[in-house]
Amino acid sequence: MIDIQSQKDHRKINIQKVGVKGIKYPIIVLDKEAGTQPVNASINMYVNLPHSFKGTHMSRFIEVLNEFRGEINIRTFHTILEKVREKLHAESAHMEIEFPYFIEKTAPVSGAKSLMEYRCLFSGCNAESQKDFLVGIVVPVTTVCPCSKEISSMGAHNQRSFVTVKVRFRRFFWLEDLIRLVETSASGEVYSLLKRVDEKYVTEHGYENPMFVEDVVRNVAERLNGNTNLTWYSVEAENFESIHNHNAYAYVEKE
């Protein structure tokens, strides 16, 4: 059977990335408490394609995923990419893995336990001369507006805010630790289960710690600056403003 993909191409155009996008796949990630956690991921995989080849062999990406089934995580990321490079005869390989991750939280006063979902990302590339790996998390928090609090005789507008942090790092770290750092850098934390005593606490605690999106990204950045394991970071905060139908947003990355 003829191999169309391996035919010569004459347009002299190198393709930086070619591959498969939106593969839904169950993976097992490392969990600080439980050892492992099964999650439903969405995966993109690419390689480069030199100008002289007509096409890549898309099915091989899936074959590599299947080889690593049950072992796709932060520790095996580059091993998978090396396998992709080998199997597709490519100089560089890229992968992005997005997944939800659950952590049990304890309500601040009642001690009631519940599960919170965080969106996570592994993204990286692997080439002879260059390796890159980035971990991302999206953490929901509460922000209370300092301006609204200051100018109003009572109350202050507040809202759910999403803080996205991406980091490059030297040694393995736990997602849980980065998530905790973010959760404790905003006006307040978000929970799945709060009893009335907890609701009183989070309301008062938030009101006493008003923060703009600017404050949140700076608080997180300041603490990340103190972490010698990190070689790079970016921090975004996006407020689903309770008084507007658009969002407030701030972005800072390590300079």
Query: Least CB distance from residue 12 to a copy of itself, whole Å?
Result: 9
CA distances from 23 to 36, 78, 96 (A): 21, 19, 10
Whether 204 and 156 have beta carbons less than 8 Å apart is answered as no
The residue among 37 and 126 lying less far from a copy of itself, judged by its C-beta, is: 37
Q: Per CB under 8 A, which region of 54-62, 79-87, 129-137, 164-172 contacts a copy of itself?
A: 54-62
Considering the rule CB under 8 A, would residue 96 count as an interface residue with a copy of itself? no
Task: Return the residue of 151, 171, 172, 228 that touches a copy of itself, per CB under 8 A.
Answer: 151
Task: Return the residue of 109, 127, 181, 193 that touches a copy of itself, per CB under 8 A.
Answer: 193
Provide the β-strand partners of residue 157: none
The residue among 137 and 213 lying less far from a copy of itself, judged by its C-beta, is: 213
Considering the rule CB under 8 A, would residue 128 count as an interface residue with a copy of itself? no
Query: Least CB distance from residue 181 to a copy of itself, whole Å?
Result: 15
Considering the rule CB under 8 A, would residue 140 count as an interface residue with a copy of itself? yes
Any idea which residue has 């965080």 for tokens? 118
Residue 158 identity (one-letter amino acid): N
Task: Return the residue of 17, 78, 87, 180 that touches a copy of itself, per CB under 8 A.
Answer: 17
Considering the rule CB under 8 A, would residue 34 count as an interface residue with a copy of itself? no
Any idea which residue has 């605690």 for tokens? 205
Residue 216 identity (one-letter amino acid): V
Any idea which residue has 């990355």 for tokens? 253
Considering the rule CB under 8 A, would residue 32 count as an interface residue with a copy of itself? no
What are the backbone angles phi and psi of residue 98, rounded to the nearest 5°? -110, 140
Task: Return the residue of 87, 160, 166, 168 that touches a copy of itself, per CB under 8 A.
Answer: 160
| Count of CA atoms in the C-beta half-sphere (13 A) of 200 | 5
Choose among 211, 149, 147: nearest CA to 182.
Answer: 211
The pair of structure tokens assigned to 253 is: 């990355």
Considering the rule CB under 8 A, would residue 197 count as an interface residue with a copy of itself? yes
Considering the rule CB under 8 A, would residue 130 count as an interface residue with a copy of itself? no
Work out the angle at residue 93's Cα, subtended by the Cα atoms of residues 165 and 167, and round it to the nearest 5 degrees.
15
Considering the rule CB under 8 A, would residue 233 count as an interface residue with a copy of itself? no
Q: Per CB under 8 A, which region of 75-83, 121-129, 173-181, 184-192 contacts a copy of itself?
A: 184-192
Strands 188-189 and 230-239, by their bridges, are: unpaired
